[in-house]
A and B are shown apart, each in its own frame.
Chain A
């Protein structure tokens, strides 16, 4: 009996007729509909059976008279099974049971929907705003269908963060939203006792661009991959592949094998560039700029390679629903091999020169320690989890694209600190090179000059669910698509790896030195633009300390007039 069947049987036994529907059509996926009362029990049952929590998806289903829908997704990594548990609450009483006391990693997802859809969660330990800014008007929930996608309420003047008070005996050091060690806007209010960090509060979501709302109101299915790619400047291809896979799964499409191999090659090229980028940034954050300069020099070869293959350094634009847009021909494949050989040689030399350097050891070993148990309870993913001895990798656990045909190793470390993350990411560079070489071998054996994408015979059927996961360089990215009418998704949800990681940062920072703050936050490779993808632009955050807002506006306006 497969895991999905066993699980369905067990849930039916435990819950009886509280389980409304079970859908096991897609291999590796299980979509369950339960009644509202059973949500907590299902979550507890899944957690006891060893499921890893992924994300929550909520949507406005008032159009069909179902009120508001809430979906929690779970992964059984050893059994290649993803489970989505859906439930509905009526429009006039959109209250669900909170699963945060049970699964702390669900805290943000639930807070997100308190803001965006006006849902309520019973027993949520911290039901305050997460996504919307402090001056956003009460009662407007932007992801609801009746709120237009371009709504911009006027910003309130003079709004500062409503931050918590520092615990007794500590003082606050503010980091961000603009800070030399943070590359994207995020605010950490760090509590310190002397040099030691005793806690921190995080305020983020300052760069909302409304991508999910845009996709479900304005764009069409095949336009979304190009917008999805711009969720992140580093792992863009991950998001476009992930979205396309979710739609293909929902519509039941099987794309050409050649296209799957090309997607795999592009994902691994992206991983190479991302790992080298992170290595450089990590070196820079600990003040070791030789690493920064040299790893970015090696990385540049990958960027030029990507430019040759796809026509652009970074936003590859390769993916459309049903396949890919450009081929990797025999001649291009041999060019890729040449570059990879060079990169591997240079990387080996660099690794030998830096991994034994005492400076790196002293700055990374024992820093940002988080135990394996804590990593499990925070649902960490990717290299951050693998550095804590958890051998989870979506490419192995839930194979997608052509990963079922390639042979590679899941690199793990057990030092549970920044050093472990560094080792994992350096070793994964060689694994990525191995994967690309295998893909190119197999691509050479497939027939050329065949269509690289499917021609869709009819519209994508509406009301179908698709769940897809892709291993981004920094961890697992989850995309959920509920298909809709009008040639566009009814709901598209993106959960970037940083969304899971950031929730664990306060634990990682605890009892470390303040000087190690940048590298501890840096170890999760925080991608704020991935995390902050959902909604309407945030307005009027914070207060300028020296210049008042009006003053800044006056100066910038007079500048513009001078020109």
Chain B
């Protein structure tokens, strides 16, 4: 009985043969619909902050560096690839790509930064998208944000209200050469 069981087990093991894949020497493409690295299409992004406000892992940051320029920074090092950003984007500017080979020793490799040119609203003094159309009042976003891009931390409701001081500060703002120190 014991021997018969062992023979059966041998048969199962032999029938299965070699199941280990040749990866990474042979490529293994991800299936269709895979949630890999999200990619932003800067021509479509309207800077509405929908993705930043709904990211469960808080990996998407926004800051208006001056009256006309809004920066969106995506830091993939903590991303869980849930794909909520892609679901929620009203302009379908985000696609979850097939790319999953993201291991790196340089954080900058997996960071995406978009500079968005915005226009100043004459009524409230904040900036809004000028190229496509204004979605701001249709979106119930949590309010404007002034996230710290250097330490990559969300600053909640920091600029929920427009402050004239900030406007004054930003009027003499020089755009930095690079965002990373």
Whether the pair A290, B87 counts as a contact (CB closer than 8 A) is no
The digit string for B72-88, where 1 denotes a CB below 8 A from any CB of A, is 00000000111110010
The contact of B9 among A222, A308, A353, by CB within 8 Å, is A353
Whether the pair A307, B31 counts as a contact (CB closer than 8 A) is yes
Contacts of A311 in B (CB 8 A): 33-35, 83, 96
Whether the pair B19, A297 counts as a contact (CB closer than 8 A) is yes
Does A352 have its Cβ within 8 Å of any Cβ on chain B? yes
Stretch at the interface among A223-231, A268-276, A507-515: A223-231
22 A-B pairs, CB-CB below 8 angstroms? A223-B55, A226-B56, A226-B57, A290-B13, A293-B13, A294-B16, A300-B19, A307-B30, A307-B31, A307-B34, A311-B33, A311-B34, A311-B83, A315-B82, A325-B87, A349-B8, A353-B12, A354-B9, A356-B5, A357-B2, A357-B5, A357-B9
Contacts of B83 in A (CB 8 A): 311, 317, 325
Contacts of B80 in A (CB 8 A): 226, 230, 315
Whether the pair B54, A353 counts as a contact (CB closer than 8 A) is no
Does B1 have its Cβ within 8 Å of any Cβ on chain A? yes
The distance in angstroms between the C-alpha atoms of A377 and B87, with both chains bound, is 47
Whether the pair B5, A353 counts as a contact (CB closer than 8 A) is yes
Nearest CB of B to A356, in Å:
6
Interface residues of A in 346-377 (CB under 8 A from B): 349-350, 352-354, 356-358
Does A219 have its Cβ within 8 Å of any Cβ on chain B? yes
Does A548 have its Cβ within 8 Å of any Cβ on chain B? no
The digit string for A279-308, where 1 denotes a CB below 8 A from any CB of B, is 000000000001001100100100010011
The distance in angstroms between the C-alpha atoms of A317 and B80, with both chains bound, is 10
Please, which residue of chain A has its CB at the minimum distance from the CB of B21? A300
Whether the pair B5, A308 counts as a contact (CB closer than 8 A) is no
Please, which residue of chain A has its CB at the minimum distance from the CB of B30? A307
Interface residues on B, range: 20 to 34
Whether the pair B31, A308 counts as a contact (CB closer than 8 A) is yes
Say whether, besides A317-B83, A356-B1, A358-B1, A312 and B56 are in contact (CB < 8 Å).
Answer: no
The digit string for A251-275, where 1 denotes a CB below 8 A from any CB of B, is 0000000000000000000000000
Nearest CB of A to B104, in Å:
14
Whether the pair B2, A312 counts as a contact (CB closer than 8 A) is no
Contacts of B31 in A (CB 8 A): 304, 307-308
Please, which residue of chain B has its CB at the minimum distance from the CB of A353? B8
Whether the pair B16, A219 counts as a contact (CB closer than 8 A) is no
The distance in angstroms between the C-alpha atoms of A213 and B35, with both chains bound, is 28
Please, which residue of chain B has its CB at the minimum distance from the CB of A349? B12
Say whether, besides A226-B80, A297-B16, A317-B82, A312 and B35 are in contact (CB < 8 Å).
Answer: yes
Say whether, besides A226-B84, A300-B19, A353-B8, A312 and B34 are in contact (CB < 8 Å).
Answer: yes
The contact of A308 among B11, B33, B56, B87, by CB within 8 Å, is B33
Most chain B beta-carbon contacts within 10 A, residue among A226, A227, A358: A226
- Per CB-CB distance, the 7 closest pairs between chain A and chain B, nearest first, are A353-B8, A311-B35, A223-B56, A226-B56, A357-B5, A317-B82, A226-B82
Contacts of B56 in A (CB 8 A): 219, 223-224, 226-227
Please, which residue of chain B has its CB at the minimum distance from the CB of A352? B8
Please, which residue of chain B has its CB at the minimum distance from the CB of A228? B56
Contacts of A227 in B (CB 8 A): 56
The distance in angstroms between the C-alpha atoms of A352 and B87, with both chains bound, is 46
Contacts of B32 in A (CB 8 A): 308
Nearest CB of A to B14, in Å:
11
Most chain A beta-carbon contacts within 10 A, residue among B12, B19, B55, B96: B12
Whether the pair B54, A222 counts as a contact (CB closer than 8 A) is yes
Please, which residue of chain A has its CB at the minimum distance from the CB of B36? A311
